[in-house]
């Protein structure tokens, strides 16, 4: 299934994308794509529905983040061997963990705002993992059973804030609009292998990132198991699993976003995001 949230900011309703690309309203079935609605039992109930029995959403509504009420927005750094190489950094011995503020989350096609004082706002296409069942001290063999589904994330970053403003990376990762998520949450049964997904990102029609989850240093199961040793993972938590090479910081010369730019990014089977860039 492809689940989504649509409508004005703060008033999003749950929906399902049918096989013809039409949005079907799920408001009578679940209150949101969040929390307990992400459990296996809930997803199985939604999967058993006939989409033709659900109301069609007319027009072209705004698409919101594909999961609501996110408790934790967890990111994994330097998790692609080829991205670490372009960054001139050694591969870590275990996953590098940092957080983005949940206030950074927005819809996949909403406007990205360059924060005030920014000089190095950068892009990162990433595979997002949405937790569906609480996970604590889980093994790698069990880990994927705790996944509700997968989605596209643009882990936007202000590199000067991130690397030169003291403290942890969170300063450069958490500006409003720095976490587009969606367009859909694709349930895990439709993703045969999360470690074999081509992904790309373009700025102004120029392709900068053209990679695959094949080059992840720590795969999704390893990441979930590792995180669960340090914190419990709850339904609706989002994990952004790292980016392949081609970020602006890795260009020669370095290239960063400016007002008026337009991004397009996608992951095979998980949909496409398109964002205009403006100034905060």
- pLDDT tens-digit series, residues 43-85: 999 999 999 999 999 999 999 999 999 999 999 998 998 877 7
Q: Where are the beta strands (DSSP E) in the chain?
A: 2-6, 13-17, 23-25, 73-77, 96-99, 105-106, 112-114, 121-122, 125-131, 147-154, 157-158, 179-180, 185-187, 198-203, 206-212, 238-240, 262-267, 271-279
Query: So what's the pLDDT on residue 82?
Result: 81
29 with 43: CB under 8 angstroms? Answer: no
Choose from 5-9, 79-83, 89-93 the range with maximum mean pLDDT: 5-9
With cut-offs at 50, 70 and 90, classify the pLDDT of residue 86.
Answer: confident
pTM of the entire predicted model: 0.96
Q: Mean of the pLDDT values across residues 93-101?
A: 95
Residue 130: per-residue pLDDT: 98
- Residue ranges and CATH numbers for the domains of the chain are 2-53 (no CATH), 73-279 (3.90.850.10)
163 falls in which pLDDT band (50, 70, 90)? confident
Quick one: average pLDDT of 179-202?
98
Q: CA–CA separation, 200 vs 97, rounded Å?
A: 23
Q: Which two tokens stand for residue 140?
A: 């790698």
- Please state the rounded mean pLDDT for residues 106-117: 97
Q: Answer yes or no: are the C-beta atoms of 63 and 96 closer than 8 Å.
A: no
């Amino acid at each position: 299934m492809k689940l989504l949230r649509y409508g004005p900011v703060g008033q999003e309703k749950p929906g399902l994308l049918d096989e013809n690309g039409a949005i079907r309203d799920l408001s009578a079935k679940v209150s949101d794509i969040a929390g307990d609605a992400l459990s296996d039992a809930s997803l199985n109930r939604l999967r058993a529905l006939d989409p033709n029995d659900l109301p069609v959403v007319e027009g072209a509504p705004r698409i919101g983040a594909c999961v609501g009420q996110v408790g934790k927005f967890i990111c994994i750094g330097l998790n692609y061997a080829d991205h670490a190489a372009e960054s001139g950094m050694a591969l870590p011995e275990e996953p590098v963990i940092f957080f983005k503020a949940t206030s950074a989350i927005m819809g996949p096609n909403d406007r990205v705002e360059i924060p005030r004082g920014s000089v190095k706002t950068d892009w990162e296409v990433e595979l997002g993992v949405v937790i569906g069942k609480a996970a604590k001290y889980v093994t790698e063999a069990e880990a994927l059973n705790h996944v509700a589904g997968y989605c596209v994330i643009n882990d936007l970053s202000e590199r000067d804030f991130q690397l030169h403003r003291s403290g942890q990376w969170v300063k450069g990762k958490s500006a409003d609009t720095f976490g587009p998520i969606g367009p859909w949450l694709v349930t895990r049964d439709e993703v045969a292998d999360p470690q074999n997904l081509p992904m790309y990102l373009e700025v102004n029609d120029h392709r900068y990132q053209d990679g695959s989850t094949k080059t992840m240093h720590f795969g999704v199961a390893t990441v979930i198991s590792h995180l669960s040793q340090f914190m419990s993972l709850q339904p609706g938590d989002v994990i952004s699993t790292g980016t392949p090479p081609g970020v602006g910081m890795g260009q020669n010369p370095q290239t960063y976003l400016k007002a008026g730019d337009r991004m397009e990014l996608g992951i095979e089977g998980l949909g496409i995001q398109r964002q205009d860039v403006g100034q905060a």
